[in-house]
Amino acid sequence: MKKTIKMLKTIIMIAIILVISVPTVYATIYAVNDTNFSVILTAPNKVLRGGTIQVLLALDGFTDVGQGVNSFLADLEYDTTKLSITSSQIVAQNGWDTPTYENGKILTLKGSMVTSKETIMKMTFTVNPEAELGLTTIKVKNAEAANDENDFVGKDGSIDIEIEQDKLQVNISEYNVNANNFITNIALETPIREFVENIDTNGTIEIYKGTQKVTDTETNIGTGMTVKISFNNQEQEYTVVVKGDINGDGCAKLSDLSKLKLSVIGTTQLEGAYKEAADLNGDGNVKLSDLSKMKLYLVGKGTL
Ligand SMILES: [Ca+2]
Ligand SMILES: [Ca+2]
């Protein structure tokens, strides 16, 4: 019996020692291996080559930081063949000071303590127009944060972004574009300047009359002109149709009436954009009724 009690006492003692020592062991591991906060990077997961991408840097997951943190220092790492950023492209958020970015390090301070998740800066990267396509990684490493008493170690932040081929984008909602890539519904006597403003594109717009590039933007956009919109190696081409303008000067005048007459009588044949511009009543043919409509317009008794 005595032996049993002694054994029980020993077992209890061992159990007590284990209970006391185990948390100590864990606490030591915790302090050595863990971090006091995490760096969180968020951004769209895709960006076009030649474009820009905004990356938000937040601090989160605070553990044992006491009164909080009001300073941050870290290394910013990215592929310089694909991305670039200058200090002016790093903007403070939520009352943090304008970040200093030098020697690959970013540093910022705040006048108050932060204890829960907060975005502290917005970084706008520019994607090199020649950048290799595919994934690229932005990392914030060796992060430190502190209050006036202690320095804390942060967990690295990392984000993968896919660099995509930049595509030509064209939106011509102001006008109509038909299956032949004719741009129609353009008012008579519209200057090229105004016409170009109504086209929403990331490309470059050039207007040609025949093979001649039209450079004077006050020139009227006229029937038969070619609109070339290009972006890198991609190009989209359209032909202009201004109803009632049959000679390509953007106006409807007696000279257009003459051309229409010659077509109706059968001397000349109007083709393509010119035929489309001459079909004033939109029935698909150039006939006497179109000539009639033009005559009424020219004497101020109708519209086109
Ligand atoms: Ca004309
Ligand atoms: Ca017609």
Hey, where are the domains in the chain?
37-164, 170-298
Q: Domain 37-164 has what CATH class?
A: mainly beta
Q: Which helix (H) or strand (E) holds 74?
A: strand 69-77
Cβ atoms of residues 87 and 28 within 8 Å: no
Which ligand is closest to the CA of 279, given by its number?
Answer: 2
Whether 214 has a pLDDT exceeding 80, the answer reads: yes
**So what's the pLDDT on residue 7?**
66
CA of 293 to the centre of ligand 2 (A): 9
- For the ranges 2-6, 174-178, 261-265, which has the lowest average pLDDT? 2-6
Which ligand is closest to the CA of 281, given by its number?
Answer: 2
CA of 235 to the centre of ligand 1 (A): 28
Which ligand is closest to the CA of 253, given by its number?
Answer: 1
- Nearest to 83, CA basis, from 123, 119, 143: 123
Give residue-wise pLDDT tens across range 12-24.
Answer: 665 555 555 554 4
- From 3.50.50.60, 1.10.1270.20, 3.30.460.80, 1.10.1330.10, which CATH number describes the 170-298 domain? 1.10.1330.10
Beta bridge partner(s), residue 55: 123
**So what's the pLDDT on residue 271?**
96
Q: Which helix (H) or strand (E) holds 158?
A: strand 157-164
Mean pLDDT in residue range 241-265: 97
CA of 280 to the centre of ligand 2 (A): 5
Distance CA 73, CA 101 (A): 10
Mean pLDDT in residue range 97-110: 97
Cβ atoms of residues 155 and 185 within 8 Å: no
CA of 271 to the centre of ligand 2 (A): 13
- Burial class of 146 by CB neighbour count within 10 A (0 to 12, 13 to 18, 19+): middle
Share the mean pLDDT of the chain.
Answer: 92
Give residue-wise pLDDT tens across range 118-151.
Answer: 999 999 999 998 899 999 999 999 999 999 999 9
Whether 37 has a pLDDT exceeding 90, the answer reads: yes
CA of 144 to the centre of ligand 2 (A): 76
**So what's the pLDDT on residue 233?**
84
CA of 291 to the centre of ligand 2 (A): 9
CA of 122 to the centre of ligand 2 (A): 59
CA of 269 to the centre of ligand 2 (A): 14
Tokens read off for 238? 């359209």
Give residue-wise pLDDT tens across range 155-165.
Answer: 999 999 999 98
CA of 253 to the centre of ligand 2 (A): 18
Distance CA 170, CA 16 (A): 76
Hunting for tokens 């000071």 — which residue is that? 97
Distance CA 5, CA 95 (A): 66
Which ligand is closest to the CA of 293, given by its number?
Answer: 2
CA of 236 to the centre of ligand 1 (A): 26
Which ligand is closest to the CA of 263, given by its number?
Answer: 2
- Nearest to 230, CA basis, from 163, 165, 164, 169: 169
**So what's the pLDDT on residue 16?**
55
Whether 33 has a pLDDT exceeding 80, the answer reads: no
- How far lies 252's CA from each of 214, 226, 299, in Å? 20, 19, 12
Whether 244 has a pLDDT exceeding 90, the answer reads: yes
Distance CA 298, CA 103 (A): 71
